[in-house]
Amino acid sequence: QVQLEESGGGLVQTGGSLRLSCAASGRFVGINAMGWYRQAPGKERELVATITFVGVINYADSVKGRFTISRDNAKNTMYLQMNSLKPEDTAVYYCNVHRINTDYWGKGTLVTVSS
């Protein structure tokens, strides 16, 4: 089992920045990848960024050049630095861990970008 807890969401103006954190606990053996997903009102959950066990990173086209995913293995924490935020980035952001054949999710943190 893996437990995940997101933090760092909030209200920010267009062009502003936020940094999300995801604190992980539990069993880490077998983790293939970690990532951030988001779900806007009335829309399906979508991938924002992922990082594999060996450090390969992938971003959604909509956030490339603006968002940066990173992790601190010593702190068991993953981050998402979000710059140049746009109103369309408004969503609940979820932390995800893919371990063996199971996906684990946090409860999400709300990011609201005002125009």
pLDDT exceeds cutoff 90 at 101:
no
Return d(Cα 25, Cα 22) in angstroms, integer.
10
* Order of all β-strands in the sheet with 67-72: 2-7, 18-26, 77-82, 67-72
pLDDT in tens, 29-41: 788 899 999 999 9
Amino acid at 78: M
First-to-last C-alpha distance (Å) of the chain:
40
Report pLDDT for 19. 98
47-89 pLDDT, tens digit each: 999 999 899 999 999 999 999 999 998 999 999 999 999 999 9
Decide if 95 contacts 22 (C-beta within 8 A): yes
